[in-house]
């Protein structure tokens, strides 16, 4: 068992970033809803209280029971967590008279305090709150301030209990990693031994114990997640893993044949299944994004159900579900974080499908999955592939999905991705693709007026998909790609480029 940190989630958009920062320090952590705190808290080396969209002054705000934590385990309150500790133990929290959202600079830092040691006066931090701590209890000692926030950081005297009103987990807090490492290593005493190699060893051992001699069916997509999940399962149970790579008719151009060949070269027991017609039939006439996602998910389940019956005594369905999929589909462990969208591989299986689910990656972020893949010595061509949505081009075609639209979008996408590779830009982009827009526009080709379709190109930079910025591709490159698409893809006469970041937008349009 590894040392672990408990993160209590109060619904903050940044809770998952806290987890990522802890994991980056090679320390295992778990997120639990504030109202479902594990009973055996002594199993944890320390506890972090997240931020929240709530105000501590609201009657309906979270009110965690901390009697078994505060003063007994190292405790760090972030934003709402810091305000809750101050408010609940004799201080005063009021609406802020100045705007406290965005960048701020440290005006005072206690460089002798164990939490803030090594941080600099003037260092940039990120604020995100409407309330502020106006009065701290007598036994609270100030360890950090900004120009507008006097109590930006504090420690309760005689306890390893700390509070900070800024967010050390976001990139904009330039020395946030110093503070987190101070808390996790110097205060909590974590040894930083949760590494990719240790994850592989422990997961393989756990999978063997969980699955035994049972057979597992796993759906491969050609992406990083399902590939790493497959290799982990193969390492654990060998030929008892039966991989299925489904052509849903929504893959990229020539992807089915090329990916199937690469999987066979990896020694995986894999079968290719062409189910395009079934997916098109289920999608016919659907325009609502959620309805399309659910229809695609339904057919995936149906296909796996059919294929599982061809494998004698198959008892498990393996999936490459990762943490952001779970976070965006359902609140973490039933917690207060908002649902953003459903994912086809999250949420369980219908009763008629007699397979249990095994998800070896469900607590990992995308960058962690790639590190695990490198530890498993998976081909860099697979690990370096851009993420591709499970529903494929079905959610990159806005409106109804037809075979004709898919064929057009496949050509557009192929030109875009191939051009990124030719110009040495592919590895600078985290994810790229094209979106078929539900509009037509007027154009002129030769002496003829055209009334054809428009597409949007999308390219973002990110580390885990939780946040993303639009990629600043050179104008010359975009002009070249646009010209190629319009000249070579019949049915397209207009190309646009999406310059929205996440948040407020999402990476995919649907």
> Active-site positions?
79, 167, 169
Nearest CA-CA partner of 414 in 460, 457, 451: 457
Strand partners, 155: 141, 162
Cβ-contact 319, 244 below 8 angstroms: no
Residue 102 Rama label (left phi>0; alpha psi -120 to 50; beta): left
Cβ-contact 164, 152 below 8 angstroms: yes
Using the Cα atoms of residue 114, residue 364, residue 223 and residue 502 in order, give the sign of their dihedral. Answer: negative
Going from the C-alpha of 419 to that of each of 130, 396, 435, the distances in angstroms are: 45, 19, 16
User: What's the CA gap between 230 and 219, in Å, rounded?
Assistant: 9
Cβ-contact 435, 455 below 8 angstroms: yes
Please state, as a whole number, how many other Cβ atoms lie within 10 Å of the Cβ of residue 450.
17
User: What's the CA gap between 467 and 17, in Å, rounded?
Assistant: 9
**What percent of the residues of the chain are helix, what percent strand, and what percent coil, each to the nearest 5?**
35, 25, 40
Torsion angles phi and psi, residue 95, rounded to 5: -60, 140
- Enclosing H/E stretch for 272: strand 270-274
Cβ-contact 413, 252 below 8 angstroms: yes
- Enclosing H/E stretch for 305: helix 289-308
């Amino acid at each position: 068992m590894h040392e672990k940190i408990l993160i209590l989630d109060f619904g903050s958009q940044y809770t998952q970033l806290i987890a990522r920062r802890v994991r980056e320090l090679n320390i295992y952590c778990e997120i639990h809803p504030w109202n479902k705190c594990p009973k055996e808290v002594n199993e944890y080396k320390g506890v972090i209280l997240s931020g929240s969209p709530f105000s501590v002054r609201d009657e309906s705000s979270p009110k965690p029971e901390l009697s078994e934590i505060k003063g007994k385990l190292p405790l760090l309150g972030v934003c709402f967590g810091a305000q809750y500790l101050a408010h609940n133990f004799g201080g005063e929290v009021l609406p802020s008279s100045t705007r406290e959202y965005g960048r701020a600079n440290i005006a005072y830092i206690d460089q002798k305090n164990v939490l803030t040691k090594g941080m600099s006066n003037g260092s940039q931090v990120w604020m995100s709150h409407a309330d502020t701590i106006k009065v701290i209890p007598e036994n609270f000692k100030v360890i950090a301030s900004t120009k507008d926030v006097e109590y930006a950081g504090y420690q309760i005297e005689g306890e390893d209990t700390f509070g900070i009103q800024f967010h050390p987990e976001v990139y904009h807090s330039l020395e946030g990693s110093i503070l987190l490492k101070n808390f996790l290593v110097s205060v909590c005493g974590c040894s930083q031994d949760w590494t990719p190699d240790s994850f592989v060893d422990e997961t393989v051992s756990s999978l063997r114990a969980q699955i035994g001699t049972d057979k597992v069916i796993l759906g491969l997509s050609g992406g990083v997640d399902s590939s790493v999940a497959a290799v982990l399962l193969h390492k654990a149970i060998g030929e008892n893993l039966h991989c299925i790579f489904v052509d849903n008719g929504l893959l990229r151009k020539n992807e089915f044949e090329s990916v199937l060949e690469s999987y066979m070269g990896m020694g995986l027991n894999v079968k290719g299944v062409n189910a395009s017609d079934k997916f098109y039939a289920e999608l016919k006439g659907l325009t609502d994004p959620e309805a399309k996602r659910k229809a695609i998910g339904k057919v995936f389940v149906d296909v796996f159900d059919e294929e599982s019956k061809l494998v004698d005594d198959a008892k498990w369905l393996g999936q490459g579900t990762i943490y952001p999929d779970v976070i965006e589909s359902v609140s973490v462990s039933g917690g207060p974080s908002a649902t953003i969208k459903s994912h086809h591989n999250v949420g369980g299986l219908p009763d008629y499908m007699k397979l249990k689910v095994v998800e070896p990656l469900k607590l990992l972020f995308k960058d962690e999955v790639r590190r695990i893949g490198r530890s498993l010595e998976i081909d860099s061509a697979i690990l370096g592939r851009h993420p591709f949505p499970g529903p494929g081009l079905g959610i990159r075609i806005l409106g109804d999905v037809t075979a004709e639209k898919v064929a057009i979008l496949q050509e557009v996408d192929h030109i875009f991705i191939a051009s990124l590779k030719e110009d040495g830009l592919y590895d600078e982009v985290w994810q790229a693709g094209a979106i078929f827009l539900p509009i037509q526009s007027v154009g002129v080709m030769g002496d003829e007026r055209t009334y054809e379709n428009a597409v949007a190109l999308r390219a973002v930079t990110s580390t885990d998909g939780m946040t993303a910025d639009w990629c600043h591709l050179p104008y010359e490159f975009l002009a070249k790609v646009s010209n190629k698409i319009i000249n070579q893809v019949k049915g397209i006469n207009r190309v646009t480029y999406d310059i929205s970041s996440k948040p407020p937008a999402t990476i995919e349009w649907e």
